[in-house]
Amino acid sequence: MLQSHVKFHSIAGKRLVLIVDDEEINREMLKHIIENDFDYIMAENGQEALEKIKEYGETLSLVLLDLRMPVMDGFEVIQWMKGSEYSEIPIIVLSSDAAAEVDSLQIGASDFIVKPFSFPQAILTRMQKTIELFEDRSIIQSTEREYLTGLFNKEYFYRYADQYDTFHKDLIMDAVFIDINHFHLINELYGRKAGDDVLIHLSDYLKDLREKTHCIAGRVEADKFFVYIEHGKIDYTSTVEEMNTHFDDFRDIHVTIRCGIYQNVDKDFDIETRFDRAIQAANTIKGNYSRSLSFYDNSAYQKKVFEERLINEMDDAMANHQFYLNFQPKYNVHNEEPVLSSAEVLVRWDHPDLGRISPGQFIPIFEHNGLIQKLDFYIWERALECAGKWKKEYGFELPLSVNVSRMDLYNSTLLDFIEEKLALHGISRSNLYLEITESAYMDDSAQLIEIINRLRAEGFKIEIDDFGSGYSSLNMLADVPVDVIKLDMRFVQNLKSSEKQETMIRLIMDIAKYLNMDVVAEGVEEKAQVDFLRSVGCDIIQGYYFSKPLSEEEFVEHVLNATGKDK
Ligand code: C2E
Ligand code: CA
Ligand code: CA
């Protein structure tokens, strides 16, 4: 069912015409004649014409059709069109065979022009007349415009917006909803006629806007309007202000509007959903007289886009060395004088456009889809490479802990990989600690315990990271073999606010002692925290109090300072 033609094929508002002729010279001539006034596509025979018509469908305003062509001639094209859903698209036949005129018109052509083309202007005029005739007819047939304002009604608004997208796939679009505040009151206080006038007055503004921006505008309910407009065409703050002032001198009736905007629409959602979002945005300011403009909160969508971007770009980022390492020192505070005892390796991502992205953002994404294995192997290798270099150049070998995600543990090459890199860089395995986050132990599969047991048997130290963050039960400690418990940061950071935390830490310390495990506290920022931890026997401390995570150069300097090796 085709009831109307799309007037929006081109941004400049030109209509689209299909030129069908087997002779190139004719096509070129027609093109030359019409190109200022129309957009065009071409076909070289009837068969090709059919394909183009199917492809462009309702957006075609007119077909200029030659009769004598190979493969499929013009008569067949007319017959096919008239029996198809495209029967409403007007056809002008172009032929040197004047005798064919009657036949063509009889089977459904709208007009007939005799070749050769001697009067270009006459052709243009006849094209325009034909199109006008058909568009008017289709308007009458379909009542696509609503009676009062002449804007599209809801059904046609949606339809045209959809079609607009089909032909402007790359444009970024905004869905705008406009509502007149207290419209029912205007009707009641001033009468229906005044109400109608208000609607017409706003429609006039929207029609101007349509002229200027080629947006699509519709009145979709009594006092509710939709506008579908290319992103960036207008500034919303000033436009809404302008709409309000547009009513300033309007017959002493105080009219204000409310506007909800869903910017940069996600075209995966259907058009109705997009405008629902614009309506939702407007609803958030209903009854709030100080605001007439509200944007749909797109953050969930933005987040998805952001995540997809990180996933897509990870490989390149690795190849381009955008990932690099930071090292955060851990200090032993058992004695009065703190001693640098090891460091944690933390990954950093310097993105050329997005700047520095926190691992708190990208690690969970990569853990979710498995990419983390690739990244972690890379980080471990780089860490051991650094350790080997420091050993050679500065003569120190400090234990490093690397983070290990749950996924990594299921990689059967993990052990071989680490051993190979240790050997390559001359680092002993007792100097590599594996920090496995607590949540990894959650699915207490036998397989996991077996892997961890194997790693320990090979001489690696296993730390359980973020201990107490939620997944662990104390039972777990008895079942799962680890060497070091790393207290979740929150224990330390909540020390001040609750005595319970103190008790919890004491308790964990007792259990750790009983199970012969060391305890590391991280996120330690203050002297008082250090003092407390030391008093309960927690000797290893990591946190800003001693040092932030450092770049490689900073870290080397830090180590040399701390160990008195600085040259
Ligand atoms: P995490 O393993 O618990 O690392 C500790 C985080 O606390 C780090 O954040 C560190 O910069 C931060 N931190 C250290 N001291 C303090 C302090 O005194 N106060 C506060 N407020 N924060 C402190 P970062 O570097 O942003 O890392 C976040 C998380 O990302 C890490 O938490 C870890 O789970 C993950 N991650 C980092 N690097 C890697 C990696 O190479 N592989 C894997 N799988 N995960 C990593
Ligand atoms: Ca960690
Ligand atoms: Ca941690």
Within 8 A by CB and 6+ apart from 393, the residues are none
Within 8 A by CB and 6+ apart from 339, the residues are 331, 332
Within 8 A by CB and 6+ apart from 376, the residues are 402, 403, 404, 405, 408
What's the average model confidence in pLDDT over 399-422? Answer: 94
What is the value of pTM for the model shown?
0.60
Q: Is residue 249 pLDDT above 90, yes or no? A: no
pLDDT category at 112 given cuts 50, 70, 90 is very high
Which residue CA neighbors atom 37 of ligand 1 most closely? Answer: 346
Distance from Cα 359 to the centre of ligand 1, integer Å:
7
Which residue CA neighbors atom 42 of ligand 1 most closely? Answer: 403
Ligand 1: residue of 330, 346, 400 to mutate (most ligand atoms within 8 A of CB) is 346
CA proximity to 297, closest of 252, 264, 251, 332: 264
CB < 8 Å & 24+ apart, contacts of 493-502:
493/523, 493/525, 495/528, 495/529, 495/532, 496/528, 502/532
What's the average model confidence in pLDDT over 282-304? Answer: 86
- Model confidence pLDDT, tens digit, residues 403-413: 999 889 989 99
As a whole number, the mean pLDDT across the chain is 89
Ligand 1: residue of 381, 433, 520, 522 to mutate (most ligand atoms within 8 A of CB) is 522
Distance from Cα 346 to the centre of ligand 1, integer Å:
6
Which range is most confident: 125-139, 144-158, 176-190?
176-190
Which residue CA neighbors atom 13 of ligand 1 most closely? Answer: 523
Q: Is residue 11 pLDDT above 60, yes or no? A: no
Distance from Cα 437 to the centre of ligand 2, integer Å:
7
What's the average model confidence in pLDDT over 151-163? Answer: 88
- 3-class DSSP string for 380-434: HHHHHHHHHHHHHHHCCCCCEEEEECHHHHCCCCHHHHHHHHHHHHCCCHHHEEE
User: 203: alpha, beta or left, given left = phi > 0 and alpha = psi -120 to 50?
Assistant: alpha
The token duo for 549 is 């995570």
Q: What structural domains and CATH numbers belong to the chain?
A: 16-144 (3.40.50.2300), 154-297 (3.30.70.270), 327-563 (3.20.20.450)
